[in-house]
Amino acid sequence: MGNPDRLSIPAQGYIVMVIAAGGALLGLVPLQRLGSFNLPHLAILGGACAVAAMAQVVKVEGSTAKTSYNLSLLVYGFTLVLLGPGAAVLVAVFACLIDWAWNRYPWFIQAFNICCLIVNLCVAGLVFRGVLGAAPTLSWRGALAMAATAMCFVILNHVMVGLAIVFARGESFAQSGVFGKSSLLMDATLFASGSMAGLLWLSSPYLVPLLLIPLYMLSTTLRVPSLERQAVLDAKTGLHNARYFHEALDRELARANRFDRPLCVVVADLDLLRSINNTHGHLAGDTVLTGIARIMRENFREHDTVARFGGEEFSILMPDTLLADAVPRVERLRRIIEATYFESSALVEPVKATMSFGIAQRTYDQNAQEILHRADLALYQAKAEGRNRVRVALDRGSLDWVQGDSYLEGLEAEEEDSTAYRVMILGTEASAPAGIPTAVVNSVAAMDRSPDAHTVVESSLVAGSSVAGSTSVANGTTTNGSRGSGFPGWRVAAVASAVILAATAAFWLSLSALGSFDLDWYKLGLLAAIAALTELLSVEIYVRETSVSTSAAPFVAAAVLFGPIGVLAMSIAMAGPAMIKPR
């Protein structure tokens, strides 16, 4: 998108309008207060420009590949409160110009970004002065003005950027994710933190360096959305990985069972990938994998889940989809892949590839593993019949959603294979379909009669063992049938008792030694509420049993302001969420 002529007429008009508005405000706003700045003000302005420029250049990838976070919003909020909107505009323009020179964006994109920030900061400045009025900045109206300013800046900024995406790409706000919860909250947190730093400077400039500690944690937190996204993506294809697919399948299956909605699962396998690698090289195999991933992503709905299980295996979750809809869509995908030539600069000649597909749909008494198993059996049949075809595993109970085999009506017949849509009827005592061992089909039939038999099927398929002697470790039951005790060991009980006694003694000793504190129950309650909220929002980053939160900050504040009573109140406030959240 380096040429503005490639944009649609509405997109060009919108960009021109924003640039014109920003240019007009740039010529008016800075003249309001900058002429009265003294040397310290100019020093602060210069430092803000330098910090904002570095933050603007060093961005952090956001919750999507097309979004990013940076700490420059914090500098804008600080400058707006301390020096006014004119200074904030100059800081933003300087930072964006440095970013432009560093990253070489197309001129019209960066001009739009600069003018968008100018409009947002000017409107935010008007909101701040309007809400604050004649009240001092260090007052409750000052806090209200900061909150309103942060909300105004963030919402207006996201609306303006979202409209640009609508006009340029045709993506709605929901599709672009511009109003994603994490994106809005992160930007609001950055801008509000900068505003609070400005208020802290007005109170005592020597306290501002203390913000460097939470600033480090905030900058680290900015990387969490990107890490979360990368944790559920396959690095080679960009599709979701197996972990995310299983989570999505469990979630959608629970919803389908609750509301009695259809659901289809597709398991796909790239045919003869090893042959492609041996004939054309591993780069050819990678080219085919990434090309197929792109085709699959483009041919399914936004709320479908397309994942790579590993190697040449893929899976597709299709919520609210009948077999009558799933089969032709998968067959269409198969034909597109079959007709595609995969090309790359590393390949001497284009490469052809095909895929085999197995489809299964939700039935009344099956769990996620059983549905996947049925789809895998259908894929097994497709591979056994010669590959490059679609096979469907049907359970007779699922025919309540369609009348008999009516979902096959209207499908275009395969030119070379009139049985391209042949259906495997599972859950019967009939003979095994061609290419599938009889023992496997009989295991599936047994699975239909026993909802817990999937563990038996897995053990017989993996180990080849008989049904007898198989064990389960579900619902807290060990292999010998016993249950673990729900009570802690005597060592844990002894340590807990010692901690309780030490805490009680420390509370009474500190209460008698420090004397009484002036208690402001409103402030103490506010700190307790903040601590409880931060505990509820704690992030489990490292391991499942530990989490990271900022509740220590209000805890220390309560201890300093209100002594032992504050410590007791905060301990109770933090213990409640810690006990409730795991449930």
Residue 49's region, left for phi above 0, alpha for psi from -120 to 50, else beta, is: alpha
Domain residues of the chain, as ranges?
4-230, 237-407+417-463, 500-580
**How many Cα atoms occupy the beta-carbon half-sphere of 409 within 13 Å?**
5
Q: What is the pLDDT of residue 350?
A: 87
Query: Could you give the residue ranges of the DSSP H alpha helices within 395-484?
Result: 438-449, 454-463
Q: How far apart are CA 322 and CA 360, in angstroms?
A: 10
Q: What is the pLDDT of residue 538?
A: 67
CA dihedral 109, 110, 115, 119 (to 10 degrees): 90
Three-state DSSP state, 437: coil
- DSSP summary character for residue 483: B
- Number of continuous H segments (helices) and E segments (strands) in the chain: 20, 8
The residue type of 507 is: F
Distance of alpha carbon 92 from the chain centroid: 29
Q: What is the pLDDT of residue 265?
A: 94
Q: How far apart are CA 327 and CA 421, in angstroms?
A: 8
Length of the chain: 583
Structure tokens given for 398: 């699922």
CB 125 within 8 A of CB 117: no
Residue 212: exposure state from Cβ atoms within 10 A (0-12, 13-18, ≥19): exposed
CB 226 within 8 A of CB 60: yes
Angle at Cα 92 formed by Cα 89 and Cα 96, nearest 5°?
Answer: 140
> What fold, for 237-407+417-463?
Alpha-Beta Plaits (3.30.70)
One pLDDT digit (tens) per residue for the chain, 583 residues: 556 667 788 888 999 999 999 988 887 765 556 656 778 888 888 898 998 888 888 777 666 666 677 788 989 999 998 888 888 999 999 999 998 888 888 888 889 999 999 999 999 989 998 998 888 877 888 888 888 999 999 999 999 988 988 888 777 777 677 787 777 888 888 898 888 888 888 888 888 787 777 777 777 777 776 777 777 888 888 898 998 999 999 999 998 988 889 999 999 999 988 888 888 888 888 889 999 999 998 898 888 999 998 888 999 999 999 988 899 999 999 999 999 998 877 777 888 899 999 999 988 778 899 999 999 999 998 999 899 999 998 764 333 333 233 344 444 443 344 333 334 434 333 333 333 333 333 333 333 333 333 332 332 323 333 333 333 333 333 333 344 444 457 788 888 888 888 888 888 888 777 766 677 788 888 888 888 887 777 655 544 455 556 677 787 888 888 888 888 888 888 887 777 765 5
Give CATH for domain 4-230. 1.10.1760
Q: Which sign does the torsion angle of CA 185, 187, 190, 194 carry?
A: negative
CB 554 within 8 A of CB 570: yes
Strand partners, 558: none
Q: How far apart are CA 79 and CA 126, in angstroms?
A: 14
Q: How far apart are CA 284 and CA 343, in angstroms?
A: 8
Q: How far apart are CA 266 and CA 283, in angstroms?
A: 27
The residue type of 301 is: R
Any residues with CB less than 8 A from the CB of 328 and at least 6 apart, and which? 411
237-407+417-463 shares the fold of 4-230: no
